[in-house]
A and B are shown apart, each in its own frame.
Chain A
């Protein structure tokens, strides 16, 4: 019998951690993810779980310690946001290259500067090429569900990669909503025991981790890591299916919302997908064939699947909640466009940047974008690419 409760996104993820009861959690406080280690510490203090918590002196050390504990054979995780993710950068690369299935609860917050504590995706998007699986949530429910799927994906022998479970800072992490929780025993059974093949604390079978590797070997290691990321797509889909069969909800690589016959599609990630869906419902009432493609999995990037899903529409708005400073477009736009070209899907596209550093993204913004897509298709309008939405006008 599923339990219903009202929880913030941070509470939901902390609750998932409680149900999983992982072995080791090093963490360092940073807004807005701080609540997660606080809540886990409280569960530990009250004897509800017996995870070993390491109150490290920095995020660099939280990921370093997580690498040490995971390599030692302990299921490990941490939580962070923004500058915390940036500070553990080098270690993100090492968790991946050492093929350690560490989980990271990321509460997306903008990177400095100017220093700002609110949501955008600049932290995880800038970490898109460090070799971590990245899964994004629209809601508290999805953040919870995604976290429960994290270890079955990351620890699969075909994968053995670290995984970042992302939710939007404040919008998701601090807003309370109704959520359906899975029974403790069902979570335990779904996640299973961690049984690594090789680990440091394996008596009589010592191993060495983190070699110096000359050019004769290092390139093969990178290729194997890339193959693992390719393999992870299949595993993510399997785990999502198993989750849906068992608990009745969830999507695979992305969610297609009213896209079946859509002429105009907004491709978006995270909490803003909810805003887009609301606007699309209203547009549909007016007879406009609008839809939303909500990307759940950014790494591995489902390029072919996205192209397939978009091929029958007339125009797509690609929504980036970050700036790449490449004078060309956001990372999502760059990757979607490359995917469309490779699959020879020649539809109209417009790239937008929205919601930076907590700037509101409203249904009116969505209407404005769909108006523009219609003008592109119907009137031959040539839009400005890489356009900012909701920017203050300079007078």
Chain B
């Protein structure tokens, strides 16, 4: 796990084939490919998927973009479904119905709606039972597939179609749920939060750890959505960098209960830098709304301090 060669990693065969119907520049697809690149060559995988953009765009009958076995069941049960697949693997292995040398890994993808909200119970159950699998949330902070409705992952003040900004509305009222922490409190062996950096090293190592750590593991991947966030599609890497440099989206991991920051910005940028790139926060920059930005910054600071405390006490 120690050596990392970007070129080598990027040249691995794609396990999500081109030709799927995801939007150009979609963060979910970038995330999926990054996670799957961490699979060791020769290892087989079964990929699970909650209903969402990724599913309807990658497996439209009679075509599939997935090179590995793949199962989509419904919106709210990606955890339980892949838990079932993983248990079948145990049963078939035990009963000698699979060749000894065959090695399967189990990875399921869900958007934030299918993970933080409607699939939360199924995820929590699968994590608590300790299935040997990885649940990857591609978090784009709203129900994008149905047209940008708010979820519990949506940041405060975001303009969504169910929290529209209006004469008497500043967008979403609540701050986002901190799902990675909640899953870490399940005492699973590995939880990490990550996104896309220029070298893709953070997401690669975390994916590899999650896939090759025995037990239930969870990855929360910030996966920008150009349509929902309203930024210039080509700027996805810049958006992700601002998310981590403003500490809106800290990158950390929790390994066997030990919290560790995997990235600390040299200079923590003001939250405005992240927000001003996105149309969903445009209203925050109107005269008279300065107080909203202050509130947003305070919440980011509070959470960042809390995370630093968790990481430093180890």
Q: Chain A interface (Cβ within 8 Å of chain B)?
A: 23-24, 26, 50-52, 54-58, 60-62, 64-74, 76, 90-91, 94, 200-203, 206-214, 217
A201 adjacent to B81 (CB under 8 Å): no
B125 adjacent to A57 (CB under 8 Å): yes
Residue of B nearest to A206 (CB): B69
B71 adjacent to A206 (CB under 8 Å): no
A57 adjacent to B124 (CB under 8 Å): yes
Check if B261 is an interface residue, CB within 8 A of chain A: no
A100 → chain B closest CB, angstroms: 11
A91 adjacent to B73 (CB under 8 Å): yes
A74 adjacent to B92 (CB under 8 Å): yes
In the complex, what distance in Å separates the CA atom of A23 from the CA atom of B102?
A: 19
Per DSSP, chain A at the interface is: mixed
Residue of A nearest to B72 (CB): A210
B105 → chain A closest CB, angstroms: 12
Pull 6 A–B residue pairs with CB atoms less than 8 Å apart, ordered by A. A52-B94, A61-B77, A72-B88, A76-B84, A208-B66, A209-B70
State which of B30-38, B55-63, B205-213, B235-243 sits at the interface with chain A. Answer: B55-63
Chain B residue total in the interface (Cβ 8 A):
48
A58 adjacent to B64 (CB under 8 Å): no
- Residues on the B chain within 8 Å of A61, using CB: 77, 79-80, 83, 121-122, 125
B88 adjacent to A76 (CB under 8 Å): yes
Known A-B contacts A201-B104, A203-B98; A208 and B80 likewise in contact (beta carbons under 8 Å): no
In the complex, what distance in Å separates the CA atom of A217 from the CA atom of B68?
A: 23
A83 → chain B closest CB, angstroms: 15
B80 → chain A closest CB, angstroms: 4
B84 adjacent to A66 (CB under 8 Å): yes
In the complex, what distance in Å separates the CA atom of A58 from the CA atom of B134?
A: 21
A91 adjacent to B61 (CB under 8 Å): no
In the complex, what distance in Å separates the CA atom of A202 from the CA atom of B85?
A: 12
B135 → chain A closest CB, angstroms: 13
Known A-B contacts A206-B70, A209-B70, A212-B55; A64 and B77 likewise in contact (beta carbons under 8 Å): yes
B125 adjacent to A200 (CB under 8 Å): no
In the complex, what distance in Å separates the CA atom of A52 from the CA atom of B97?
A: 14
Q: Chain B interface (Cβ within 8 Å of chain A)?
A: 44, 46, 48, 55-56, 59-62, 64, 66-74, 76-77, 79-92, 94-95, 97-99, 102, 104, 121-122, 124-125, 128-129
B129 adjacent to A55 (CB under 8 Å): yes
B102 adjacent to A68 (CB under 8 Å): no
A289 → chain B closest CB, angstroms: 52
- Residues on the A chain within 8 Å of B79, using CB: 61
Among B64, B77, B91, contact of A91 (Cβ-Cβ < 8 Å): B77
A97 → chain B closest CB, angstroms: 11
Residue of A nearest to B48 (CB): A68
A314 → chain B closest CB, angstroms: 50
B61 adjacent to A68 (CB under 8 Å): no
B50 → chain A closest CB, angstroms: 11
In the complex, what distance in Å separates the CA atom of A90 from the CA atom of B125?
A: 19
Top-5 shortest CB links A-B = A68-B84, A65-B84, A57-B125, A72-B88, A74-B88
In the complex, what distance in Å separates the CA atom of A211 from the CA atom of B128?
A: 29
B83 adjacent to A54 (CB under 8 Å): yes
- Residues on the B chain within 8 Å of A55, using CB: 129
B88 → chain A closest CB, angstroms: 4
B73 adjacent to A64 (CB under 8 Å): yes
Known A-B contacts A54-B129, A91-B74, A211-B64; A68 and B121 likewise in contact (beta carbons under 8 Å): no
B88 adjacent to A24 (CB under 8 Å): yes
In the complex, what distance in Å separates the CA atom of A101 from the CA atom of B48?
A: 20
